[in-house]
Structure formats: C-alpha cells, structure tokens
C-alpha cells in the first residue's frame, strides 16, 4: 500500500489507508485552528496563512471505536470504492468495487464489451481494462449531439465503435448506465449509476448491480431463445429496450443476449426510452414500475401505520408548480402500487438530496456540487419541495462525506424495519426521466434514456414479503442511514449555481 502523503487545503490523507493513526502523519502548527479543520473549502491565501487546517494529533491510548459497517447477508448491490481519503479501506469493507475490479474478473476469458453512458473519458476508461484486453472490441453508446473529444479519441482506436442514441428533445439525454461484458464462457450485465469518468469512481457514493455469469445456450438446444428467460422476463425486456434505440448496430449485441441463458436473473429491469406511448403500453418509466409492482409486490398483511417512500437522487427536474401536479399524484401513485389491495396508505415521499452543508463537508468539498445540477431557475418555481427534503447521511456505511451520485427509490415499513422493494437506477427525480401523463392519462411522454434494476423480495424467495433490515446483518444493503434526517430550518438544498460564487 502506498504511504505517499497528499496535502491540500481541504484534506490531509493517505492513499487508500484505513488504519494509520500514527502521529507522524501530522505536524504541530502554532496558528489558531480553523473551525472547519480539514473540511474547510476556502482557498484564500490570507485565510490559509492565518489559520491552521491540520488535523489534530492524539496520544489517546483508547481512541473512540468506529461503528462497524453493516454486513448484509447477500451482496445484491455493490457500492463504488472510495479512494485517497483516510479510512478508505474501512469504508470499502462493505461490498465495494472499482471499475478495475469489475473488469479484472475472468480477464483471460474476456471477449468484448459495450458501455452505455452519459459522460465518457475514453482514455481513462481503457486504462481500467486489464492491459491484455484494451484492444478487444468496445462499443460505446452515447447521446452527444455534436462531434466531441470522444469522436476524436475513438478514431485512434480501431477496436472502439461509437453508437449515438437518437434523442428527440433538447431536454432529453442518454442517461443510461449499463455494461455488457462478454466472455468465452458467458455474459454479464452491469447496471450502475456512474459516468465513465475518473471523478465518478473516486470519492462519490455510487451503486451497481452485477449479474451472475449468464451461460451460453448450447448449440444443440432445440428450444427458442425466449425459453431461456427468467420469471422477471429479464431477457425479453432487455431486448425490447434495445429495440427502442432503433439502431441496426445493436444486432450483434442482441444476438449475444439471445444466445445466453438468463433464467437466473431475479430482478426486474425498469427502463425509459424517449417517445410518446399509449398508457396501455406499460413498458417504460414510472408506468412500467407501476405495472410491475401491481403484478408482483405482495404484502403479508395490512398494518395500521402507513408505509414510507424514499426517493434519493442527485438532480431534480421541473416537477410542476404544486406537489399534486406530478410528484404526489401520478409519480407517487406509481411508487405506491401493490398487488394487495389491503396495503396500507403511503406517506408523502421523502426526498433525500444533499444540502449545502452536506456538499461543503464532503470529501470533494464544493466541487462535489458540480455533479448535483439542480438549478436556481428550476428551484424557485417549486419551493414546495423544501418541505420534502432530507439530508444525505450515511454513517452506517461510512459514506456521509462521499457525495451521492447514486439514485434509488424504495418503499419501507413505517418503522424502517422492513424494505418492500428497492430500485437502483440511473433516473433522477424528473419527468424527463420517468415520464408524465398527457391527454387525460391516455398517453405518457418520456424524454431520456434510463435503466434500473428493481428488487422484490418474493421474487427471490416466494415465502418472503420484505427484506428485513436489522442493524448487524440486514437482508439488503441500504446506502443511506435510516431513519433519514429531515432538513433543519437552516438547511437549504444544494444548487449548482453556488459554484459560481466560490
């Protein structure tokens, strides 16, 4: 492990070190201490000269013991590794992986890959692959409307193929984050929340789902490819999703998907593709989520206290002038859907989104706010959202200071002891991502590409109606603390405009 000391006005850290408490890492400074210490974001030289920003040393023989991370029974999702901060190894002890870790598995069997994303740093991306696989076929699906650096860099790599997703509106994006990893002995699908740039895989909280290795169907099989689908129709839906890109270049990857056995997939795909769809075609956005929950979510028995919906995201779109225009109407109705009509009522949604204080206290400082593009021009039109906001807090996983770029939506029991479903997705809180009804709800309109994976307990175990969330060994790794912490009166949601004043 590298012991290189890294110093900056914000942080004094050891590369990926989790256990060094040696006083030799720190120096004595006679200047008065800045009240923000190593969390200070100010760059003014006069301030830096006047106040000390070094971490105080301690000679205590009995330091306060850190709370241990939860140890979920099964790694249904992973979080991305945190790098270049103190105690990174401890933070990364709970089901954490880097992009290099993902691509290193079965590297000798690797054949080709496809990367769906919003932002791409091609040179950095290629460096994450093992050296021997950097010249293997790589397909990149993007949404850039104009020629960019990605196009120039791709021309220098004969193994790289670019596919531009068709986007109908200037307000839509290709926001899907997905990987196809093809091996000689099978295929893996990865659904995640990170852009393909270094900053997204360094000091942020991101999530990912990694499929099992789907084996190749025997050439001797006489069954149709659809016979090798799961009870969640994972393969069928993935093919439908790709068809809506309307791109002939996907033929290769669609044939790859058809040729693999996906009967083991026990999650639902929840996607979005741009377009207007009749409401009877329940295949995308919140309408798709509503349909799946109505068909498959079962509660064992009704309870007196209403369940809770938590929406956690890194950006917010224009949701309408009042809460009942979209958020607490069609969107909440979809998230509240259930197979059991005796299901209890649902509270208004809890919105976990970083406050200004959360951003300034993050590992990245205010620069983390660049990945939280909620703008003042949008926020001033929907002040009612301030009553819904809860802070980003993740002490349980050691990630309170790892600014969230993860997106998740979930339904809990009133006491947060039971998790009825959990969705990990690329979709933020916006109508562009989730869709909105039009023409008296006879159709819905979506602007962006998104993809997510939905976990329903009974799909994994027919006798299980919920994931149990005990502290030491929960059934599911929830990335934030429960119960969530509501904004105090002094708290304000982070707006990307604040970066202009720093």
| Range list of β-strands (E), 94-193 | 96-97, 110-116, 138-142, 160-164, 178-183, 186-192
142 is catalytic: no
Token pair recorded at residue 220: 């001797």
142, 211, 478, 431: CA torsion to nearest 10:
30
Beta strand residue intervals within 321-395, DSSP E: 350-352, 389-390
Cα separation values, 444 from 272, 287, 378, Å: 11, 8, 22
Instruction: Work out the number of other CB atoms within 10 angstroms of the CB of residue 132.
Output: 10
**Which member of 120, 142, 244, 405 is catalytic?**
405
Residue 64: helix, strand or coil by DSSP? coil
| Owner of token pair 């040696």 | 22
Angle at 403 between CA 366 and CA 328, to 5 degrees: 105
Calpha distance 2→10 (Å, rounded): 20
Cα radius of gyration (the chain): 23
The catalytic residue among 87, 174, 175, 192 is: 175
Rama region for 246: left / alpha / beta (φ>0; ψ in -120 to 50; rest):
left
In degrees rounded to 5, what are phi and psi of residue 312? Answer: -130, 130
What is the edge-to-edge ordering of all strands in the sheet holding 436-438? 275-278, 443-446, 436-438
Give catalytic status of residue 405 as yes or no: yes
Dig out the tokens for 350 from the structure.
Answer: 């809890």
**Which tokens hold the place of 321?**
């002038």
Burial class (CB in 10 A: 0-12, 13-18, 19+), 44: exposed
Q: Rounded to an integer, what distance in angstroms lies between the CA atom of residue 479 and that of residue 194?
A: 15
Q: How far apart are CA 326 and CA 151, in angstroms?
A: 38
Please enumerate in sequence order all residues whose Cβ is within 8 A of that of 363, keeping only pairs 6 or more positions apart, or say none.
11, 82, 85, 203, 401, 402, 403
Our CA angle for 143, 146, 150, nearest 5°, is: 70
Render 221-275 in DSSP notation, one character per residue: --S-GGGG--TT-HHHHHHHHHHTT--GGGHHHHHHHHTB--TT--SEEEEE-SE
Residue 300: CB partners within 8 Å, gap ≥ 6?
Answer: 465, 466
Which active-site residues does the annotation give? 175, 405
């Amino acid at each position: 492990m590298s012991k290189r000391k890294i110093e900056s006005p914000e942080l004094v850290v050891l590369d990926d070190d989790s256990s060094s408490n040696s006083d030799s890492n720190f120096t004595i400074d006679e200047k008065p201490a800045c009240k923000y210490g190593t969390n200070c974001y100010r760059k003014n030289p006069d301030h830096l000269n006047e106040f000390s920003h070094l971490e105080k040393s301690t000679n205590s023989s009995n330091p306060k013991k850190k709370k241990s991370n939860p140890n979920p029974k099964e790694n249904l999702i992973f979080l991305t590794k945190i790098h270049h901060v103190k105690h990174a190894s401890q933070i990364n002890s709970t089901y954490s992986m880097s992009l290099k870790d993902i691509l290193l598995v079965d590297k000798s069997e690797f054949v080709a890959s496809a990367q769906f994303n919003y932002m791409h740093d091609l040179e950095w991306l290629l460096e994450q692959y093992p050296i021997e696989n950097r010249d293997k076929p790589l397909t990149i699906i993007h949404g850039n409307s104009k020629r960019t650096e990605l196009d120039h860099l791709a021309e220098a790599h004969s193994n790289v193929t670019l596919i531009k997703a068709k986007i109908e509106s200037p307000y839509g994006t290709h926001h899907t984050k997905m990987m196809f990893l093809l091996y000689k002995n099978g295929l893996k699908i990865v659904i995640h929340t990170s852009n393909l740039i270094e900053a997204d895989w360094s000091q942020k909280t991101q999530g990912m789902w990694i499929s099992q290795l789907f084996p190749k169907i025997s050439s001797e099989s006489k069954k149709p490819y659809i016979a090798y689908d799961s009870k969640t129709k994972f393969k069928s839906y993935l093919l439908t999703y790709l068809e809506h890109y309307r791109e002939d270049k996907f033929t290769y990857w669609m044939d790859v998907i058809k040729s693999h056995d996906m009967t083991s997939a026990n999650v639902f795909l929840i996607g979005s593709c741009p377009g207007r769809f009749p409401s009877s075609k329940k295949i995308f956005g919140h309408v798709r989520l509503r349909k799946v929950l109505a068909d498959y979510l079962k509660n064992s028995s009704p309870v007196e206290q209403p369940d809770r919906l938590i929406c956690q995201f890194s950006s917010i779109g224009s949701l309408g002038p009042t809460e009942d225009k979209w958020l607490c109407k069609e969107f909440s109705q979809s998230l509240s859907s259930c197979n059991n009509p005796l299901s209890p009522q649902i509270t208004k949604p809890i919105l976990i989104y970083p406050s200004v204080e959360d951003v300034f206290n993050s590992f990245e400082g205010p620069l983390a706010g660049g990945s939280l593009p909620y703008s003042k021009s949008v926020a001033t039109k929907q002040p009612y959202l301030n009553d819904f906001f809860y802070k980003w807090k993740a002490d349980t996983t050691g990630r309170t200071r790892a600014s969230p770029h993860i997106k998740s939506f979930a339904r809990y029991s009133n006491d947060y002891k039971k998790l009825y479903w959990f969705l990990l997705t690329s979709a933020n809180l916006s109508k562009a991502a989730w869709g909105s009804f039009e023409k008296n709800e006879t159709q819905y309109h979506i602007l962006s590409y998104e993809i997510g994976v939905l976990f329903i307990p009974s799909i994994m175990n027919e006798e299980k109606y919920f994931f149990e969330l005990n502290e030491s060994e929960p059934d599911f790794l929830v990335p934030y603390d429960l119960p969530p912490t509501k904004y105090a009166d002094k708290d304000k949601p982070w707006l990307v405009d604040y970066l202009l004043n720093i």
